[in-house]
């Protein structure tokens, strides 16, 4: 596959036991997530889950941004590529058509993967700087804690495509229903301080101190017993699911795919003809 980025790994793991940093590494595309990246993240998290020396995992982005979301326009976009499935036992999307293809793919690389990562039995901290847009929100929300730099910004602009939010529809649970609607209805960016006031992130720190502060928080957590941390994470996740997170996401995933199907039926494609460039242009004009 010729993507112009064949030499560099799309995800890099740095071990500083008992902490590991997993860094998305497509900085020239603002760490847009293609399937190569989601599967590489899944590999990295799986290895660290099994590594007894590692107690806390930090998810970060290389370069100027955490992540611009799903890859809808880079040369490395790989929607037609098969990968061995791990998050679900559904069939491969390649060779399928219509909703059959879209649901098979998105259930694996987006919804299924995010759920697997959320359930990883070690505390995970998202270390967010710069853009954290659309599909990037799903990565940050799958982590247990979020530390943001003061220049971080967040947005889910996919309503512009006629789609009711990204696949892992945690919005009403992570920021409250009122602001979830504002975020989705307007598609506007909001900054780290607003995210903090909504309870969506844990801490906001100066950009220059982001890594040191996140590592310090991870080190403090790592002093706790590993099994105790795993049970605590499970207890809070179960409480969140009892508050409707899991079934709410399932319900929204169905609506998400109604929107993809509607777009495919009435416009040029399932994204209503949008790609990374038109979405950027629309935001500039807004």
Q: Footprint of Zn ion on this chain (CB under 5 A)?
A: 106
The smaller minimum CB distance to Zn ion, of residues 71 and 106, is found at 106
In whole angstroms, the minimum distance from the beta carbon of 106 to Zn ion comes to: 5
Q: Which ranges constitute the DSSP H helices of 85-134? A: 98-106, 113-118
**Among 65, 43, 67, 81, which residue's Cα sits nearest to residue 135?**
67
User: CA 101 to CA 119: how far, in whole Å?
Assistant: 26
* Least distance (Å) between residue 250 CB and Zn ion: 14
Using CB positions, name the residue nearest to Zn ion: 106
Of the candidates 89, 111, 40, which has an alpha carbon nearest to the alpha carbon of residue 260? 111
State the burial class of residue 200 (Cβ atoms within 10 Å of its Cβ: 0-12, 13-18, 19+): buried
The nearer residue to Zn ion, 78 or 106, going by C-beta atoms, is: 106
Write down the least CB distance from residue 173 to Zn ion, Å: 19
Q: Give the residue with the Cβ less far from Zn ion, 55 or 256.
A: 256
Instruction: Report in angstroms how near the CB of residue 221 gets to Zn ion at its nearest.
Output: 33
Rounded distance between C-alpha atoms, residue 164 and residue 187, angstroms:
11
Shortest CB 99 distance to Zn ion, Å: 11
- Between 42 and 106, CB nearer to Zn ion: 106
**What order of strands is seen across the sheet that includes strand 124-128?**
11-16, 19-24, 56-61, 124-128, 145-149, 203-205
Q: Which is nearer to Zn ion, 111 or 131 (CB)?
A: 111
CB of 160 to Zn ion, least distance (A): 14
- Which CB atom, from 215 or from 252, has the smaller least distance to Zn ion? 252
Task: Check: CB of residue 93 under 8 Å from CB of residue 105.
Answer: yes
């Amino acid at each position: 596959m010729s993507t112009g980025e064949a030499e560099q790994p799309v995800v890099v793991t740095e071990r500083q036991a008992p902490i590991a940093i997993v860094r998305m590494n497509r900085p020239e595309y603002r760490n847009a997530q293609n399937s190569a990246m989601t599967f590489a993240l899944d590999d990295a998290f799986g290895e660290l889950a099994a590594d007894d020396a590692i107690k806390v995992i930090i998810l970060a982005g290389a370069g100027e941004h955490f992540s611009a979301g799903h890859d809808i326009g880079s040369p490395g976009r790989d929607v037609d590529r098969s990968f061995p499935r791990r998050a679900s036992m559904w069939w491969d999307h390649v060779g399928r058509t219509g909703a059959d293809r879209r649901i098979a793919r998105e259930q694996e690389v987006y919804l299924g993967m995010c759920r697997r990562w959320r359930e990883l039995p070690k505390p995970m901290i998202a270390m967010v700087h710069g853009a954290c847009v659309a599909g990037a929100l799903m990565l940050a929300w799958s982590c247990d804690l979020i530390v943001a730099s003061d220049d971080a910004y967040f947005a889910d602009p996919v309503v512009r495509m006629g789609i009711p939010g990204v696949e892992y529809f945690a919005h009403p649970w992570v920021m409250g229903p009122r602001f979830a609607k504002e975020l989705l209805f307007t598609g506007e960016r909001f900054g780290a301080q607003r995210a903090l006031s909504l309870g969506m992130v844990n801490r906001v720190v100066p950009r220059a101190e982001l890594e040191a502060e996140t590592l310090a928080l991870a080190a403090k957590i790592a002093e706790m017993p590993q099994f105790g941390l795993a049970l605590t994470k499970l207890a809070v996740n179960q409480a969140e699911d009892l508050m409707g997170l899991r079934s709410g996401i399932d319900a929204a995933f169905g609506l998400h795919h109604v929107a993809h199907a509607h777009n495919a039926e009435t416009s040029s494609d399932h994204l209503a003809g949008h790609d990374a460039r038109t979405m950027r242009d629309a935001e500039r004009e807004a």
